[in-house]
Chains A and B, each alone.
Chain A
Amino acid sequence: MLGANGAGKTTTVNCFLNFIKPTSGLARINGIDVQEDPIGSKKHVAYIPENVMLYRNMTGLENLRYFSKLGGHDYSADEYRALLDRCGLQREAVDLYIDGYSKGMRQKVGIAIALAKQAKAVLLDEPTSGLDPKSSNEFSELLLELKAAGVAILMVTHDLFRAKETGTRLGIMRQGELVREMLADEVSHTEIEQIYLEEMKY
């Protein structure tokens, strides 16, 4: 999902998470109305915010284990380490307190939390903003893996290039409305940019 700052992209995500009550309309995850059954609907979705926030008095591993248990899944310590490894977190950082983590490192723990949940749908709110190109690339690889595994992904991003690379359908939002939809396969990078700029003119 693309759109200028303030277009309502994060608000849409918040509606799915029942953090905001919609004035009208329904948000459904896996067919479950999020307002009617907020807890049940969240069982099927994982969420990675722009800034993954973690408990500073706990290590990366402890944070992952805690949030994973909150999400209803528990694994062995080795499995957690493997997961963090897969998300690209340096091995020596796993047992350090979050205090010393960079934004990128926190983002990677956030991805691990989302993966640990084994959800059928994933909500991503600018997950790669502030990541270095290599990490960003690794993240895209993970997304493609999830996509191949049949996970539905809704990603808010400003990165037109990654949107085209990882997305199936692209949407552009303006003033709270989805004004344009296209299939990623049917447009080129330059076309996407053109369409985007065109929509932003209004």
Chain B
Amino acid sequence: MIGVIAKKEFLCLLRDGRFKWSILIMILLLFTAFLTGYQRNESLREVREAAQAKNTEQWLDQDRKNPHTAAHFGNYAYKPQGTLAFFDSGIGNYAGTTIWLEAHKTNFAQNRPAQDNGAISRFGDMTPAMTLQVLLPLVIILLSFSAFAGERDSGTLRQALSLGVSNRDLLWGKFLGIAAAVGIIVVPAAAVGGAILAFGLPNDGTVVDRRGLLLVLFYLLYAVSFLFLALGVSAIARTAKTALIVLVGFWAFATFIMPKAAADISRIVTPTPTYSQFYHMTERASARGLPGAKGPLAMPLDRQVKLERDALLKKDNVPTGRDLPIYWVAYSMQIMEDRDYQIYQKFLGDLRAVFFRQQSTQDHFGVVSPLLPLRSLSMALSGTGLVDQERFNQTAQDFRIAMIRKMNGELIDHTTMKDPLYIAGREVFSKVEPYKYVAPTLGESLAGETQNIVLLLAWGILSACFAVAAVNRLRA
């Protein structure tokens, strides 16, 4: 019985001119999204890989010089473009991709891809993820709003119910029939996506297949939620027009208004410190001591330096710094680097906590819009979310302090107070391993996503319950 209803539903949809057009447009959009996503991904990936390689070469090929001066010359860290970023660019467009790592200074990631876009492309890139998140629900609504209400309007529902069809059979039949029509749209596009993954992109070791499978699962859950919701509303609404208005209203609320509002509210609840505030705080802590810290970090910089110097003098039993066996200038520079690294770790950690709290505030709004949990999960699985960005920021800073320790260490090891000159070349510079970004594992990517998985599942289950309840009181 369900099969009979599904087949008829599918056939009628395919024969409907409006639906033919919406299906055609959606297929075109998805194809375009996949191909432009692929093309953009490839160009960004090539640029970054080339830049990272060039950077390493420049670092090694710099003139022979004092290793500390070489650290001033510095290194760039580039965040590599993950394979699945072609599907969902996540926050990648608005997050920095390059960090200059130099002596004495901690820099933020720069070069946001969005900076290269003109004013016209403010709407953002048309990624496959965005097309599926925003347009797919609309197509589902257009295909299903009249499922019950339209038949009630035209009187065919009366005819069908008079024959003794159960309401549930009708629901499942319509569900499957419409799902098949939506499948006509999505399956070819998914095939293109799969083909791009299989043949067009390198597997960067992030276990793309498992992530891809989960992406399919979550998007499926999202689509099913909208389908059940639309069928339920269609069963309750008095007319097809009412159903359409209610559903399109919800669509606009869930996919346009809520994501924006959630982002704004999260910033009001947990404000992001401004760039100048951040630097003011860190500079102050660096010079005068970190409030609330214990030990040397709590002291002003000059006191810590003096303490360390006095300790050295005592250890070597010499009266002045000039008599120390080591090159004190290099040694003290490393003291300052280590101090600043710890202070920045504290403030960068606080800043990261702000971002994650904002993310968590936004995630709470997943109760009213299924788009929010899906969007977070999609970014996390595509390797373009906050976790990935922060992993890049952190590992780049760790790379920086390791590089400087190594260079200053070389200087300290090869100099004395009497003979402070030390010129090094490639053989020393090559002791700094090039920066390499290691993406989070699947478990790490999903570690903070439990709530979103639960929310998305709840949307699927509750919308199904709603649809069942709605058809149970279905009236002709």
Contact = CB atoms under 8 A, between A and B. Distances in A.
Interface string B240-273: 0000000000000000000000000000000000
Contact of A52 (B4, B159, B476): B159
Contacts of B162: 17, 19, 42, 45, 47, 49
B159 A53 contact: yes
B158 interface: yes
Contacts of B4: 66, 69-70
B180 to A, nearest CB: 16
A11 to B, nearest CB: 13
Interface string A8-28: 000000000101000000000
Interface in A30-57: 38-43, 45, 47, 49, 51-57
A42 B158 contact: no
Nearest to B156: A53
B12 A39 contact: no
Contact of A70 (B12, B155, B158, B160): B160
Contacts of B5: 70
Interface string B1-31: 1001100100110011000000000000000
Interface residues of A, number: 29
Given A39-B166, A57-B12, A66-B8, A49 B160 contact: no
B155 A49 contact: yes
A41 B164 CA distance: 8
B20 to A, nearest CB: 11
Contacts of A113: 159, 163
A54 B159 contact: yes
Contacts of B475: 19
A40 B166 CA distance: 10
Nearest to B153: A53
Nearest to B173: A70
Interface in A41-95: 41-43, 45, 47, 49, 51-58, 62, 66-67, 69-72
A71 B159 contact: no
A57 B159 contact: no
B159 A42 contact: no
A19 B476 contact: yes
A92 B135 CA distance: 42
B5 to A, nearest CB: 7
B161 interface: yes
A46 to B, nearest CB: 8
A73 B12 CA distance: 21
Contact of A54 (B156, B163, B165): B156
B43 interface: no
Contacts of A71: 163-164
Contacts of B160: 67, 70
A202 B314 CA distance: 124
B8 A19 contact: no
Contacts of A55: 8, 12, 156
B159 A17 contact: no
B154 interface: yes
Given A51-B155, A58-B8, A70-B1, A42 B15 contact: no
Contacts of B8: 55, 58, 62, 66
B155 A53 contact: yes
Given A43-B164, A117-B163, A53 B158 contact: yes
A17 B154 contact: no
A39 B164 contact: yes
A201 to B, nearest CB: 34
Contacts of A39: 164-166
Contacts of A47: 159, 162-163
B161 A17 contact: yes
**4 tightest A-B CB contacts, nearest first:** A42-B164, A53-B155, A47-B162, A57-B15
Interface of A: 17, 19, 38-43, 45, 47, 49, 51-58, 62, 66-67, 69-72, 110, 113, 117
15 contacts: A42-B162, A42-B163, A47-B163, A49-B162, A53-B159, A54-B156, A57-B12, A57-B15, A58-B12, A66-B4, A69-B1, A69-B4, A70-B164, A70-B165, A71-B163
